[in-house]
Amino acid sequence: MTKNNLTLSNTLQHWLMYPVWMLGLAITMMIGLAAGIAVLVKGLSLTGLTDNIPWGLWIALDLSSIAISAGAFSLSAAVYILGIKSLRPIARVAVFVGLIGYSMALLALLLDIGRPDRFWHSIVYWNTHSVLWEVTMCITLYFSVLIVEFAPLIGEAAWMQKLSPRLASLMAKLHHAAPLLAVAGLGLSLLHQSSLGAMFGIIKARPIWFKPDMSILFILSAVAAGQAITVFACMMVGKLRGRTLVDRSLIDGVARFIGFTVLGYLYLRFWDFLSMNYTNMPGRGESLSLLTSGMLQWNFWIGEIILGAAIPAGLLLWARTRNEDRFVMLATALIVMGVVIYRWDTNLSGLIMTIAYTDALTPTLVTYTPTWIEWATTLGVVAYGLMAFTLGVKYLPVFTSGHHEDEVENIHELTPSTVTV
């Protein structure tokens, strides 16, 4: 087959696959929307959630969506605070992915709280003694920062410039605030990621959560997953378009950093596992056994440790495999999968092993099975995220830069510009 025929074949294949892909996502979203409306009308009785299991599949979705959004703050900080300007193209993608991830998390939370009409209570009625209140404020403020960071991409879009040139110009000028937004985003996102870990770590009634390293584990896993999904998205879109969208040396540098981050996360995960074996807190050993030899052992050893951390870390740190696109894409996909499983295991292992404080601190195993309503709404939110990314890549200059030559004129005043990846 000649080169021209091959190009024509790929074009026709893409033309046929795109509507099928979008139709599938639209149908999944509609089913999820119908299930979500049913929950809002009939309440959480349609779910598998109980007094013992108040956080289920939706919270796992929320925690995972927040994790994959972490590439936005880490890569933006590298560009605008550390002065690594070469990372600017991939940082734009990270901000876009981060915005979608946070919007997915908000949708999951709206379902989980049971009364979404009262979502504004935590914003109006402050409870500064609550970690959950801090989490709410961080997600609200950082989501606002991401919207402002994302606005220049809309302003640069050709359709926006035709629709409203003045508004497009105004939105495009917001890129001048990028360094300030990067500083604010770094602080808010770090607070949010660590507060999520702290929210689990201070709950003494759940022994496997009650430990000081939860915040660090949440931050490390989020940085790894956020940058991994950004690299995967860049390479996947490039493969579908048949051309390189981000410089390969840039991908190589970020992939290497991800490998070291995963290695640090893996070390801390093992340290966390070993340290819990030396404590005699009621219920902790029983909860830990769920991960190592019980119902969650396949998730822990295979999903989290081997496939989700050890193998991808090796692929990204070995130069020979890191230089091949297929191995980088495989490794980054496995890292995202591993972090999603970690967030699910963390949530579930602490909930299904309860402590009866009225009965000599006896650990009791309870069960949780998500209902089809929970699965339908969860898949609907995921479909929304995929559709948002697909439409954004198609209609917004996510992989191009139009007005960024003068974004950080005074970056040298903040930090040295000689930092390299």
Residue 56 placed within a domain: yes
Residue 281 placed within a domain: yes
Give me the mean pLDDT over the 370-379 stretch: 96
Residue 239 placed within a domain: yes
Residue 408 placed within a domain: no
pLDDT, one tens digit per residue, over 103-134 is 999 999 999 988 888 888 888 888 888 888 88
Which residues constitute the domain of residue 311?
18-398
At residue 358, the pLDDT reads 59
Burial of 209 (0-12, 13-18, 19+ CB in 10 A): buried
Nearest to 63 by CA among 350, 402, 394: 350
Residue 416 placed within a domain: no
- Per the structure, the count of domains in the chain is 1
Task: Out of 25-29, 55-59, 366-370, pick the least confident.
Answer: 366-370
CA-to-CA distance for 359 and 12, rounded, in angstroms? 67
pLDDT, one tens digit per residue, over 315-329 is 999 999 999 999 999
Residues near 311 by Cβ (< 8 Å), separated by ≥ 6? 331, 334
At residue 361, the pLDDT reads 66
pLDDT-based confidence at 411, cuts 50/70/90? Answer: very low
CA-to-CA distance for 95 and 147, rounded, in angstroms? 9
pLDDT, one tens digit per residue, over 380-393 is 999 999 999 999 99
CA-to-CA distance for 316 and 331, rounded, in angstroms? 7
224: region left, alpha or beta (phi > 0 left; psi from -120 to 50 alpha): alpha
Torsion of CA 2, 8, 12, 17, to 10 degrees: 70
Q: Which two tokens stand for residue 63?
A: 């925690």
Residue 413 placed within a domain: no
Written as one letter, the residue type at 66 is I
CA-to-CA distance for 109 and 113, rounded, in angstroms? 6
Q: Which two tokens stand for residue 405?
A: 């030559």
Q: What is the CATH number of the domain that holds 24?
A: 1.20.1630.10
**CB–CB of 366/51 below 8 Å?**
no
CA-to-CA distance for 333 and 402, rounded, in angstroms? 30
